[in-house]
Amino acid sequence: MHIALFGATGGTGREVVAQALTQGHRIKALVRDPTRVPAQDGLTLIPGDVLDATATRQCITGTEAVICVLGSKPKQPPIEARGTAVIVEAMQASAVRRLIAVTSMGAGDSRRQLNPLFRWIMDLSLKAIMQAKAEQEQLIRASGLDWTIVRPGGLTDGPRTGTYRHGLDKSIKGGRISRADVAEFVLAQLDDRHYWQKTPAVT
């Protein structure tokens, strides 16, 4: 499949690139600094910023699905909602319908799936980012696209294990999961309609 990827330089994005290319997919990735991503067969880098509508549309045009793993760092203006608004508009204009976006457990109606201590920590240090992720989810839900919102637990840099829990049950709690396992789950959604128009947790 030909995939447009946003967030390729982040930890989860790098895992998506590596695993997708191994599976035989082709990727167009929008990156502000192409030197941060090694050249690889099957990978096309589009220089630019997700807030640039022209560059974002160039990345999406001609692809079959979009994977969005945008992320922000504390003390920086959150990019999740603003970037997703541009992506959604470009998808609608380009007639590309399949969108898989990674947000976080704790966003939207999954807040109580986190333990109280972690909720307090998020409110203290990640409030702006979580608000941006909640707005991001609202934009996606209202987009009319064929979307899946993936909500991982606490991310680690551990190896891919293939052993994790996923689903819609609110009893699933926010444990840790490697970025490699999140990437595996995200790519599995490309051809699987089980979670279309849904927000599975993965942990």
Tell whether the model's pLDDT for residue 73 goes beyond 80.
no
- Rounded Cα distance, 14 and 11, in Å: 5
Q: What is the pLDDT of residue 76?
A: 81
Query: pLDDT tens across 75-134, in order?
Result: 789 999 999 999 999 999 999 999 999 999 888 787 777 777 777 777 776 788 889 999
Query: pLDDT tens across 27-60, in order?
Result: 999 999 999 899 899 999 999 999 999 999 999 9
Q: Which residues face 68 on adjacent strands? A: 6, 101
**Which ranges of the chain would DSSP assign to H, the alpha helix?**
11-22, 53-60, 80-94, 116-125, 127-141, 179-188
Token reading at 79 = 């990019």
SS3 of the chain: helix, strand, coil, percent, to 5: 40, 20, 40
Which residue has 């990674």 as its token pair?
102
- Rounded Cα distance, 28 and 41, in Å: 11
Give which of 170, 168, 169, 163 is closest to 185, Cα–Cα: 163
Q: Going from the N-terminus, what domains does the chain have, and what CATH number goes with each?
A: 2-202 (3.40.50.720)
Average pLDDT for 182-195: 96
Query: Does pTM top 0.85 for this prediction?
Result: yes
**Taking the alpha carbons of 44, 103, 87, 77 in that order, is the dihedral positive or negative?**
negative
Q: What is the pLDDT of residue 78?
A: 93
Question: pLDDT exceeding 70 applies to what percent of the chain?
Answer: 100
Report the number of secondary-structure helices (H) and strands (E) in the chain.
6, 10
Q: What is the pLDDT of residue 100?
A: 98
- Rounded Cα distance, 44 and 28, in Å: 5
